[in-house]
Amino acid sequence: MKLYGRSVQVKDGNTDRALRKFKKKIADSNLLQDLREREFYEKPTTRKKRKASAAQYRWKKHLSSQSLPPKLY
């Protein structure tokens, strides 16, 4: 039996495992993120600001992980 698209095969009635595989497959394909982005129109300037803000947050997070922990005394 050949499966097409985003589907998984349930083996031995183990639906929990199949559901986990399906969720992982959907998450890896970025399908939900794409649907959320297309749900409402976002102006190009707003999109640019949101992406710049996210990049700045990621950079600050990266810098904080590189710094030494504070002294506890």
30 dihedral zone (left: phi>0; alpha: psi -120 to 50; beta): left
* pLDDT tens-digit readout, 59-68: 999 998 888 8
In a domain, 52, yes or no: yes
* pLDDT tens-digit readout, 21-32: 999 988 888 888
Residue 6: per-residue pLDDT: 79
Domains contained in the chain, number: 1
In a domain, 60, yes or no: yes
In a domain, 58, yes or no: yes
* pLDDT tens-digit readout, 9-55: 888 888 999 999 999 988 888 888 888 889 999 999 999 999 999 99
Residue 57: per-residue pLDDT: 97
- pTM attached to this predicted model: 0.53
In a domain, 57, yes or no: yes
Domain range for residue 59? 15-66
